[in-house]
Amino acid sequence: MKIPTRSAPGRNATLLIGSFSILTALIAVGVIIQPLLIFVLPLVAILIRTIPSAGGLSITLILAGPVLASRYALAGLTLDNWLTIAGAILGVAHLLFRKGAVDFRLAALPLALAGTVLLSVLAAGTGDLAAIIRYLSLAVLAIVIVGKNQKIRRHAERGLVVVMTVGAISVLLQPLLPSILPPYIDPDSGSIRLGGLFGHPNFAASSLALFALYVLASRVSSRKLTILALVLVLPAVLFTSSLGAIVALLVCAAVLLVTRLGRMLVALLLAGVVFALFGSTFVDRIGFFLSSDTDANSVGWRLRQWSQALELMPQLNFFGVGWGMIETITGSPAHNAYLAIVVELGFVGALIVLVGWVVSQLRIGFKRAGIVLGAFVAATSITDPTLYYPSTLAAYLIVGGLTAAMSSQEEVQSAIIKRTTHAKQASNVVGH
């Protein structure tokens, strides 16, 4: 009797996952003195157990890094980097073992960012080389998620739900755990804001909002997933007091739900209850934003940041001043993704990034859900680096890939229905 054996790809994937499990256990022993890692690392172990495919696990780890682990360091690197590297290794291994052509279209944006950062480093002699590895890892994520394996996308969606749920809970519980999760102190207003494990409240809001928009747009998501987004994620977005992300989310959600009155009413009711209970910080932020003191309000503060960034732009700005140099020189980021890309990567780099973004968005699609995701990123990038920040870009690529797959399935189903209808009509004609 012949004993069944695993295929070579299966054996290698299993060995990689097993090796990563052992590595996770060793890291847990070494860093147990940091209380929060006791919760983060078991979460990674749970993901390894519940997401059996190397492709799905790689996507989840690359997302979990910037979302859940950017605040904590290990052996000179943030835990975020360790998880991202592990996810990228699993993703590359999966791509080496898979069959069929590779679709690079969704990966066009992170590949464009990686390439232009490298060009800027070579031209300016300075910049953030680590960013190149980060964007290449996100490119791996994008390539894996648009593959033909539907099981991997199901695993990726499962991982997305787990990671975003934990992220949302960390935001909601942050006021109760100030020693473990110190709150974020807003540098412009001095107010205390909540970002949970994400770190910065604006990145928390944008990442969670992209997930919520995916759930609200998806017609194949379960009722449990919808309830999860409404009960945990939407209140967590409000908790961050991120004005840009909240306004963009409300507008985009209204566009998605205009024909789905039930979901819209539930979302509005829940948002109203949460705002009534916990909306004081949000109101303070609005007051700060609308303050008549132009030297202190949020608008005046951002205009000064933009002006300082523009002053750094070379006269012949082909390749920019170097990635990350605005914050290095001025002490603060530009708070505008477009301005930062032009100043730090130059006009050549900005053009390449724009083309990459268009190609990625074309892969996501221009149906209503795809347009809403692209519009959200475009709008929030005016005041924050949503377009290229790791957690928000990872969320955008994952929900974009899942949305593209959802649109493709709907097109296939529609084509089948049309063919079936035409066949029935033809048979009826012949019968008569």
| Residue 55 within any structural domain of the chain | yes
Give yes or no for a contact between 213 and 253, defined as CB atoms under 8 angstroms apart: yes
Give the mean model confidence (pLDDT) for residues 22-40: 49
Most confident of 52-56, 98-102, 174-178: 174-178
| Stretch among 51-60, 166-175, 249-258, 390-399 having the lowest mean pLDDT | 51-60
Burial 110-145 (b: 16+ CB within 10 A, else e): bbbbbbbbbbbbebbeebbeebbebbbbbbbbbbbb
| Stretch among 126-135, 171-180, 225-234 having the lowest mean pLDDT | 225-234
Token pair of 412, please? 């296939």
Please give the residue that has the higher pLDDT: either 255 or 222. Answer: 255
Supply the pLDDT for residue 402: 92
Supply the pLDDT for residue 284: 55
pLDDT at 38 over 80: no
| Residue 119 within any structural domain of the chain | yes
Give the mean model confidence (pLDDT) for residues 376-383: 93
Burial 45-76 (b: 16+ CB within 10 A, else e): eebbeebebbbbbbbbbbbbbbbbbbbbebee
β-partners of residue 73 are 78
Domain count, the chain: 1
| Own/partner long-range contacts of 287-296 (Cβ < 8 Å, ≥24 apart) | 288/188, 288/189, 288/191, 289/243, 296/188
Burial 329-366 (b: 16+ CB within 10 A, else e): eeeebbbbbbbbbbbbbbebbbebbeebbebbbebbbe
Distance CA 32, CA 325 (A): 35
The H or E element that residue 73 is part of is strand 73-74
**What is the average pLDDT value for the chain, to the nearest integer?**
77
Distance CA 154, CA 212 (A): 17
| Stretch among 182-186, 258-262, 371-375 having the lowest mean pLDDT | 258-262
Please give the residue that has the higher pLDDT: either 307 or 269. Answer: 307
| Residue 429 within any structural domain of the chain | no
| Residue 3 within any structural domain of the chain | no
User: In 10 A of CB 105, how many CB atoms?
Assistant: 17
3-class secondary-structure state, position 236: helix
| Residue 430 within any structural domain of the chain | no
Distance CA 111, CA 117 (A): 10
Give the mean model confidence (pLDDT) for residues 193-207: 91
Query: For residue 193, how far is the Cα from the chain centroid?
Result: 20
Token pair of 82, please? 């360790």
| Residue 280 within any structural domain of the chain | yes
3-class secondary-structure state, position 136: helix
Token pair of 368, please? 């209503």
| Stretch among 281-295, 338-352, 384-398 having the lowest mean pLDDT | 281-295
Q: What is the pLDDT of residues 341-370, one digit of tens each?
A: 999 999 999 999 999 999 999 999 988 889
Please give the residue that has the higher pLDDT: either 66 or 297. Answer: 66
Radius of gyration of the chain from its Cα atoms, rounded to whole angstroms: 23
Give the mean model confidence (pLDDT) for residues 330-335: 82
3-class secondary-structure state, position 40: helix
Alpha helices by DSSP H, listed for 75-149, are 79-97, 108-124, 130-145
Give yes or no for a contact between 376 and 403, defined as CB atoms under 8 angstroms apart: no
* pLDDT band for position 254 (cuts 50, 70, 90): confident
Distance CA 118, CA 306 (A): 24
| Stretch among 103-107, 229-233, 334-338 having the lowest mean pLDDT | 229-233
Please give the residue that has the higher pLDDT: either 280 or 132. Answer: 132
3-class secondary-structure state, position 35: coil
| Residue 143 within any structural domain of the chain | yes
Query: For residue 425, how far is the Cα from the chain centroid?
Result: 46
| Residue 130 within any structural domain of the chain | yes
Q: For residue 293, what is the DSSP state?
A: -
Supply the pLDDT for residue 225: 66
Q: Tell which residue, 170, 147, 136, 154, has the closest CA to residue 64.
A: 170
Supply the pLDDT for residue 6: 42
Supply the pLDDT for residue 387: 93
Give the phi and the psi of residue 287 in degrees, each rounded to 5. Answer: -60, -40
Distance CA 375, CA 38 (A): 38
pLDDT at 40 over 50: yes
β-partners of residue 78 are 73
* pLDDT band for position 415 (cuts 50, 70, 90): very low
Token pair of 245, please? 């992300």
* pLDDT band for position 408 (cuts 50, 70, 90): low
Domain hosting residue 412, numbered range:
9-424
Distance CA 423, CA 260 (A): 32
